[in-house]
Structure 1
Amino acid sequence: MHARERTADRRESAIVRTAKVGRIVLGVIVALVASCGGGGSGPSAPSALSYPSPQTYITGAAITPLNPSVQGPVTSYSVSPTLPTGITINSTSGQISGTPTTPRAKGTYTITAHGPGGSTAFGLSIAVLPAAPTGLSYPSPQTYVARTPITALAPAVTGLVTKYSASPALPAGLSLDPASGQITGTPTSASVLTDYTITASNVSGSTSFTFSLEVIAVNVTPGAISRLIASGTPVTITLTIVPVDFVFSGTLVATASDTNGVFAPAVTVVPSNGGYTLALTVSTRIVPGHYTSNVNLKLCSDPGCTAPQAVPSVAVPFDIYVLSASSAWPGNHLTALNSWTGVPDWTMYQANAAHTGYVPVQVDPNLFSTRWQGPPVEQGDPYYPYPNTLTTSNGQLFIASGNLLYAYKEFDASAVWQYDFRGLPFPSSNPPSVASGVVYVAAGQQSSTYLFAFNTVDGSLVFKSPMSSQWEYYLAPAIGAQGIYTNAGTYGGIYGFQPAGQQLFFTPLTQTSKWTPVVDANKVYAYTGDALKVLDPATGLVQSSIADPAYMNYVYEIGGSAVLGAPGSVFAANYANSVIDGGAVGNSLLHFNVAQNSIDWRIAGNFPSTPAYDAGVLYVANDNPLQLEARAEADGSLLWAWVPPQSGDVGFKSEVLLTKSMIFLSTNLAIYGIDTTTHRTVWSYPMVGRLALSQNGILYIEGSGLLTAINVK
């Protein structure tokens, strides 16, 4: 073969081989393309991505890793929004792991798996809750003082707390803040040591702490002080203080203080019935005025008060009027009238037919208040100050003023009726008595002397029975079961009248003025200075007479009455003689023993007014020495005495008014209230006058000015 031909053949063979190789490669490519889903498309994308969902995690606790489930090739993972703090996603494997540190509300996190041909996504729900709180505690135990604000008590706790609660409920006045767990407030009363469980919780759980708490207290009685006080009077105010659920340490020492200096610092402390009695004194330096504040009582166990008691102090509110004679009236307090049950009205001179001046009630000076003032009272005798004692019955009071008899309402002093004696030829009026709806009064002089009787409701005249007299004045008639008895007579004596006005008798007696008889169930007693005469209540016959050999008649007046004690026991003095030589002449206090017809005992002194009596004790005012005396009925021995507190007190100006708890008595400066147990001055009022206490709890002061009514209940 020619050489050119051989060369051409070799070229043709090479071309054929190349074409075959090309067809093989193309077939492979076609096969590959076919295996990928068809010809003409790019790389495939991942699909069907998922995670276990939803997921709830707790802060501080490592989560169980979450791995994705996915189809197809994935080159990376991403999440939006960012997973909760502490949780991460592995961008290569898609695994979610970590320890959440911050609570996060439930949310959806979109996780995307990326591949060469695209991506796929899944919404994973995740909530991160706070860990349950732990380690709750409070300072324990706690001791608080009732009525004293506590220092806020805060908890110690680990973790987030959304709510605090307590079981059982905290003592009254204390509260637990459900958000902060703080315990605050002012406990109102004592509480024994008790365990309280406080629970701190959130949605994940709770933790509890039991702590002990007690509230100690002192009970103070009364809980508040109210008083009317005459300026310059060292009135004593007594409080009882009792520890509750604790015991005072050592000796209790107390001092008083207030912003206005109403109280003197010194406090007298005396043990009493499981507690203590504290005696506070109103300062005599406090100027007249109305004071309202708290008195702070500092409680210690040593005189220097360097060692406070467990209850270091107690505050007691007070409302005190300090009044002078020229002070403005504190105002009317027209409270509803409610009578004491079983307590008689003040119907005669010194309350009753025995003239004991005793009203069987307990009165509390903290309850006293001014009720009303008025009307003015005129004096019938210029030589005998304040003679016109009043009486009360069924919500009315009756008083003679000038030559008129008035009936007023106790409620507000409004007039009910009046009767004018000025039409008599020789007009005069004397104090009234009242019984069974009838007011009795002796009025007129000389030939126009009568015992008048009026209907209490409308003042209509019931009767007008004639008597005889000269120019005497009389005290209120005495009323007994059989009649009405009054002194009268041209030359002295006693009249007896039936309730309808018929005269029972007239018995001549020693001529003297300004006295009234005493009556019990069987006898009438007439003390005329020279003797005590015992009369029959129906006939007036003198059954016995006990003479006073030391009697001296200087002023022809008695100025009071005898007083009945126990059966057969009668007290008397010639009170009007107190103005003679300082009472040194004819003014002894006498005790008559009716059964033995004798004078048992005699006490020298200067006794200006009728005493009061109850239960074997006579309470009598003595101007020399100046003191109220409590004397034993049996022998006249002095049991105790009270001395008027002001330097200007020089004499007594009223009869003694006695209750179970207090004695009332007027000096020339003030009306004083004396405690029957402590014998201290516990109340005073800057007025001078005669006294009466009605069944409705109204104390009347009848002096030279306006008639004054004081509520005592």
Structure 2
Amino acid sequence: MRLILMALLAGMTAACSGGGASTPAPTPTPTPTPTPTLEVTLTPSATSQTAAESNFAASFTLNASFTGTSSAPVVPDLQFDPAVLIQDGPVVQTGNVFAYKFKTLTGLQPKRYSSTISFRLCRETACTTVYPGSSKTFVYALNVDLLDWTTLQRNASHDGYVHAAFDPAVFTNSWEWAPASTTGIQPVAAKKGFVFATRNTSNGETVVHAVDGATGTERWQFSLGNVSSASGPALVGNRLAVSSMFISSGNNQIKILDPDKGTFATNLLFAAQWSTFAQPTGVGNELYLASGYYGNVVYSYDLAALTDRWNANGSGGHTWDGETVAIDDKYAYYYSGNLDVFDRASGALVKSIADPSWVWNGYSYFGSPIVSSPNNVIAYSGTRVPSYNLSLPLTSFDIAAGTVRWRSARSYSNLPAVAKGVLYAGSNSNGQLDALNEQTGAVLWSWPLPAGESFVGNVLVTDTLLFFSTTAKTYAIALEGAHDVKWTAPVSGWLAITPDAKLVVTSSSKIATYSLQ
């Protein structure tokens, strides 16, 4: 019996030893809580918008709403293209709705942009865990359009600048418009889908035409009759304005037309005698004209009400015709030996800045002051006979100080352009095109005029190329590097770039166009 008890005790001891100890039951792993589904709906206020080439910015809102609940945090995560859009303020949450505001970047190159906007809801800021049903996207399209070419040298500043980068490798011939019996065509205006021109005919008639910007086919025409002279058209608000003169009088007519249909709206009157007119200038619904029976008068009209606003006499009195007024936010600028500064609202003469370099070469000016930057206006020093072969110095006026800032050491021949602090002008007397520092007048670089050629018309500047015409052809040269020739066309004349990205070359007998994109 004792042996049996000892055996039992030995067995029990062995069972309690380290080698044979029992393993405790494992702690159960908790079942993970499934991430709930949060179904998201995106509601943008716009999926396609249009902005202008200038500093205009389009804006829109985006509401991201969700259904469902979660005991964990709900963190929104939004992705978009920062090269096109910026978020305009913080996200605002109201219940199950996250509200965003966006605006487009200013100064974008004119083209079509496509940007995918992605939204999702996460359990943490790092977005390691994404709620099912919350990942949604939509595509936002932005068209950045070129601005209208409204008047001489494009706009009321007359700076000849187009904010766009063009690739000469893709330039192609587009269309030509050459009506029979044409004896002259004035510089054009253009808006999307339209190019407007004033044409003289061999029978003495003067006709305003609208041609299709894409095809060059005629859309409408309006006869001015057998007038003595007429300007090129100018776009002013939703009107088209053409200055005309039948005979010397105090009742010459600015014809106001509907640019879409060519229908007549009214005549606005002004004084002139045997004048040749530059295009008038418009800002908003305000129209400005430089004329007068003996010159030296600036007229302003309201094209919304189709009434006169004011007229005012200049201080110089040396220019009768061929000039268009320059406009900025506050003032209208008129050159007639002095640079006169008029208040836009009242027509009051704010100040007159004398030009000691002024030279009289006849009653015609054939150009305009240029508002090259705030507080800086540049103008040719003197009048010119009806030819751009006469070269004159350029003078820069400090508007705030009422003084001359600089006078160019060389004389120039065509209508200059200015952009980003650089003024571009061609000189027939010196045989070169110069790039001048806008603030000092110092020559930064020059391009030699080919032998036997002369500059004509105007200079047009973009972000990458400089366009100009000679008597032989139209050139595009690079603004950077060696300023080498990137493209030429076998036509020459007045240049413009339309909102449809077409280079328009206007000669005395035809309009030739080239697609730039």
TM-score with structure 1 length normalisation? 0.49
CA spacing shift, 1:416–1:619, aligned 2, 3 Å: same
Unaligned runs of 5+ in 1: 1-338, 381-385
Of 504-513 and 662-671, the range deviating more from structure 2: 504-513
Match of 1:674 among 470, 477, 496: 477
Q: Report what 1:559 is aligned to.
A: 366
- Residues in 1 aligned to 2:217 and 2:277: alpha-carbon distance in whole angstroms: 27
The aligned runs of 1:222-237 (5 Å cut-off) are none
- Residues in 1 aligned to 2:397 and 2:320: alpha-carbon distance in whole angstroms: 20
1:487 aligns with 2:307: no
The aligned runs of 1:320-335 (5 Å cut-off) are none
**Higher strand proportion:** 2
Q: Deviation digits for residues 97-120 of structure 1, max 9, x if unmatched?
A: xxxxxxxxxxxxxxxxxxxxxxxx
Q: Report what 2:438 is aligned to.
A: 633
1:647 aligns with 2:445: no
Match of 1:525 among 308, 313, 333: 333
CA spacing shift, 1:640–1:379, aligned 2, 3 Å: farther
1:686 aligns with 2:490: yes
Shift of 1:427: 4.2
Q: Report what 2:50 is aligned to.
A: none
- Indicate conservation of the 8 Å contact 1:358/1:612, yes or no: yes
CA spacing shift, 1:712–1:353, aligned 2, 3 Å: same
1:434 aligns with 2:238: no
CA spacing shift, 1:581–1:560, aligned 2, 3 Å: closer
The residue type equivalent to 1:366 in the other structure is A
1:508 aligns with 2:316: no
- Residues in 2 aligned to 1:668 and 1:576: alpha-carbon distance in whole angstroms: 22
Q: For 1:405, what is the secondary structure of its paired residue? A: strand
- Indicate conservation of the 8 Å contact 2:158/2:326, yes or no: yes
Q: Report what 2:103 is aligned to.
A: none
Shift of 1:657: 0.5
The residue type equivalent to 2:421 in the other structure is G
- Indicate conservation of the 8 Å contact 1:578/1:607, yes or no: no
- Indicate conservation of the 8 Å contact 1:376/1:707, yes or no: no
Match of 1:391 among 189, 200, 220: 189
Q: Deviation digits for residues 519-553 of structure 1, max 9, x if unmatched?
A: 1111101112x011100112221111111122121
- Residues in 2 aligned to 1:664 and 1:564: alpha-carbon distance in whole angstroms: 20
- Residues in 2 aligned to 1:608 and 1:640: alpha-carbon distance in whole angstroms: 17
The residue type equivalent to 1:527 in the other structure is Y
Match of 1:606 among 402, 411, 419: 411
Match of 2:507 among 703, 706, 711: 703
Q: Report what 1:444 is aligned to.
A: 245
- Residues in 2 aligned to 1:675 and 1:588: alpha-carbon distance in whole angstroms: 25
- Residues in 2 aligned to 1:387 and 1:576: alpha-carbon distance in whole angstroms: 23
Q: Deviation digits for residues 139-183 of structure 1, max 9, x if unmatched?
A: xxxxxxxxxxxxxxxxxxxxxxxxxxxxxxxxxxxxxxxxxxxxx
The aligned runs of 1:363-382 (5 Å cut-off) are 363-376=166-179
Shift of 1:375: 2.4
Match of 1:663 among 461, 466, 486: 466
- Indicate conservation of the 8 Å contact 2:154/2:161, yes or no: yes
Shift of 1:578: 8.2
Match of 2:211 among 385, 408, 414: 408
- Indicate conservation of the 8 Å contact 2:291/2:298, yes or no: yes
1:571 aligns with 2:378: yes
1:344 aligns with 2:147: yes
Shift of 1:581: 12
Shift of 1:555: 1.7
- Residues in 2 aligned to 1:479 and 1:373: alpha-carbon distance in whole angstroms: 28
Shift of 1:683: 0.7
- Residues in 2 aligned to 1:640 and 1:393: alpha-carbon distance in whole angstroms: 34
Match of 1:536 among 334, 343, 361: 343
The aligned runs of 1:449-468 (5 Å cut-off) are 449-468=252-271
| Identity of matched residues, % | 25
**Count of equivalent residues:** 363
Q: Deviation digits for residues 211-238 of structure 1, max 9, x if unmatched?
A: xxxxxxxxxxxxxxxxxxxxxxxxxxxx
Shift of 1:468: 1.3
- Residues in 2 aligned to 1:495 and 1:503: alpha-carbon distance in whole angstroms: 8
CA spacing shift, 1:657–1:581, aligned 2, 3 Å: closer
Q: For 1:495, what is the secondary structure of its paired residue? A: strand
- Residues in 2 aligned to 1:392 and 1:694: alpha-carbon distance in whole angstroms: 6
Unaligned runs of 5+ in 2: 1-141, 201-205
Q: For 1:605, what is the secondary structure of its paired residue? A: strand
- Residues in 1 aligned to 2:307 and 2:188: alpha-carbon distance in whole angstroms: 25
- Residues in 2 aligned to 1:579 and 1:486: alpha-carbon distance in whole angstroms: 19
Shift of 1:600: 0.9
CA spacing shift, 1:697–1:573, aligned 2, 3 Å: same
Shift of 1:413: 1.4
Q: For 1:421, what is the secondary structure of its paired residue? A: strand
Shift of 1:428: 2.6
- Residues in 2 aligned to 1:410 and 1:490: alpha-carbon distance in whole angstroms: 37
Q: For 2:164, what is the secondary structure of its paired residue? A: coil
Q: For 1:392, what is the secondary structure of its paired residue? A: strand
- Residues in 2 aligned to 1:341 and 1:588: alpha-carbon distance in whole angstroms: 37
Q: Deviation digits for residues 2-44 of structure 1, max 9, x if unmatched?
A: xxxxxxxxxxxxxxxxxxxxxxxxxxxxxxxxxxxxxxxxxxx
The residue type equivalent to 1:689 in the other structure is G
CA spacing shift, 1:616–1:457, aligned 2, 3 Å: same
- Indicate conservation of the 8 Å contact 2:357/2:381, yes or no: no
CA spacing shift, 1:578–1:639, aligned 2, 3 Å: farther
The residue type equivalent to 1:563 in the other structure is I
CA spacing shift, 1:399–1:558, aligned 2, 3 Å: same
- Indicate conservation of the 8 Å contact 2:146/2:498, yes or no: no
Q: Deviation digits for residues 466-509 of structure 1, max 9, x if unmatched?
A: 11110111111111246100112111111100123211112123
Shift of 1:622: 1.4
Q: For 2:169, what is the secondary structure of its paired residue? A: helix
- Residues in 2 aligned to 1:417 and 1:648: alpha-carbon distance in whole angstroms: 40
Q: Deviation digits for residues 256-310 of structure 1, max 9, x if unmatched?
A: xxxxxxxxxxxxxxxxxxxxxxxxxxxxxxxxxxxxxxxxxxxxxxxxxxxxxxx
The residue type equivalent to 1:683 in the other structure is W
The residue type equivalent to 1:396 in the other structure is F
Higher relative contact order (CA 8 A, sep 6+): 2
Decide which structure has the larger Cα Rg and report it: 1
- Residues in 2 aligned to 1:580 and 1:698: alpha-carbon distance in whole angstroms: 27
Shift of 1:376: 3.9
- Residues in 1 aligned to 2:387 and 2:263: alpha-carbon distance in whole angstroms: 43
- Residues in 2 aligned to 1:407 and 1:668: alpha-carbon distance in whole angstroms: 27
- Indicate conservation of the 8 Å contact 1:454/1:461, yes or no: yes
Shift of 1:347: 1.3
- Indicate conservation of the 8 Å contact 1:430/1:442, yes or no: yes
- Indicate conservation of the 8 Å contact 1:450/1:466, yes or no: yes
TM-score with structure 2 length normalisation? 0.67
Q: Report what 1:618 is aligned to.
A: 423
The aligned runs of 1:192-207 (5 Å cut-off) are none
Q: Deviation digits for residues 32-63 of structure 1, max 9, x if unmatched?
A: xxxxxxxxxxxxxxxxxxxxxxxxxxxxxxxx
Shift of 1:563: 0.8
- Residues in 2 aligned to 1:437 and 1:498: alpha-carbon distance in whole angstroms: 12
- Indicate conservation of the 8 Å contact 2:366/2:386, yes or no: no
CA spacing shift, 1:703–1:581, aligned 2, 3 Å: closer
Shift of 1:554: 1.6
CA spacing shift, 1:456–1:599, aligned 2, 3 Å: same
- Indicate conservation of the 8 Å contact 2:236/2:284, yes or no: no
Shift of 1:604: 3.3
The residue type equivalent to 1:519 in the other structure is I
- Residues in 2 aligned to 1:573 and 1:581: alpha-carbon distance in whole angstroms: 12
- Residues in 2 aligned to 1:539 and 1:460: alpha-carbon distance in whole angstroms: 31
Q: For 2:440, what is the secondary structure of its paired residue? A: coil
1:360 aligns with 2:163: yes
